[in-house]
Structure 1
Amino acid sequence: MKLYSEFINIAKTLNKELDTIPLLYGSLGLEKVTGLDFSPEDIDILIPLIFLEEKWGKLKKIMELQGYKMVDLHEHEFRKTNTKIGIAYIEDLKPFANIDYKNLEIFEDYGAKYHLLTIDDYLKVYNKSLLDGYRRTKKSNKDQRKINILNKLIQ
């Protein structure tokens, strides 16, 4: 759970320095929600769009102070040794997967506050992602396997 510990450190920093509550997304978030191993390779975080636009300089500086270097401006991707963090905006959940991001539950762990999607929300995300040919090819059907697991968990 090295990635999760690192997420907790980043979440605490975002809570304190930006007064925002990030959403733990991607395979690491799915792992946290289900308790199953999805072998996450990175940390995906969603935060309000304002931090990727008007307050980008502040976010970038905060990440750099945590030892991260920006490696991809378009993807808002940071790297520190073997840890990669991708940051996107939470408002995209509504048009992308019809998820009401304004009413997500707040979790607290080791002093960090963060949001998680529900299993139903993840099902919406991965079903929508499956429509993306690039993801389907790049992720070698990992999304479909996740959908199959989520469907079993819901039944």
Structure 2
Amino acid sequence: MKLYNEFINIAKTFNKELDIIPLLYGSLGLEKVTGLDFSPEDIDLLIPLIFLEEKWEKLKKVMELHGYKMVDLHEHEFKKTNTKIGISYIEDLKPFADVDYNNLEIFEDGGAKYHLLTIDDYLKIYKKSLLDGYRRRKKNHKDQSKINILNKLIRN
């Protein structure tokens, strides 16, 4: 719950200061969508690519003003005490896993607006992730386990 609450704070900040509605991604997003515990270790966000390119300095400044320090430029990863946030771009969803990011539902919680994927979207992404060499070596067991759970949820 601590990670989710921090996500809500970041989402509010992104809404207000950057005019972004972030997509809650990764295990924390999957947990929110399914209501199941996936023991997320960090917060994964997807935002428009422009904020990782032309507007990067603005994004970085906002994160720093909220106590986050950039720890990995390539991965756009920030850290504050024990909380890690990884940021990537939402436009990659379509070519990567054929997920239409243009029509995602907007959720509101605690004054924050954000997007979530559907269970079907997550299934597409994790299936595609299994083909990725890095993820297969590092997270194969986790990804396959999530696929199995998602398949069960879809069947029920």
| TM-score > 0.5 by shorter chain | yes
> Which residue in the other structure is 1:134 paired with?
134
> Which residue in the other structure is 1:66 paired with?
66
> Which residue in the other structure is 1:5 paired with?
5
The 1-side partners of 2:133 and 2:143 are apart by: 11
Shift of 1:136: 1.4
Q: TM-score when scaled to structure 2?
A: 0.98
Shift of 1:134: 1.3
CA displacement 1:30-77 (0-9 Å, x = unmatched):
000000000000000000000000000000000001100000000000
The 2-side partners of 1:18 and 1:68 are apart by: 16
After superposing on structure 2, the runs of 4+ consecutive aligned residues of structure 1 that deviate more than 2 Å are none
The 2-side partners of 1:140 and 1:62 are apart by: 34
Q: Which runs of 5+ in 1 are unaligned?
A: none
> Which residue in the other structure is 1:26 paired with?
26
The 1-side partners of 2:135 and 2:90 are apart by: 19
Please, what is the CA RMSD of the aligned residues? 0.5
> Which residue in the other structure is 1:148 paired with?
148
Q: TM-score when scaled to structure 1?
A: 0.99
Matches within 5 A, 1:102-117: 102-117=102-117
For the Cα contact (< 8 Å) 2:130–2:140, is it kept in 1? no
Shift of 1:140: 4.4
Shift of 1:27: 0.1
Q: Which amino acid aligns with 1:63?
A: M
Q: How many residues end up aligned between the 2 structures?
A: 155
Q: Which runs of 5+ in 2 are unaligned?
A: none
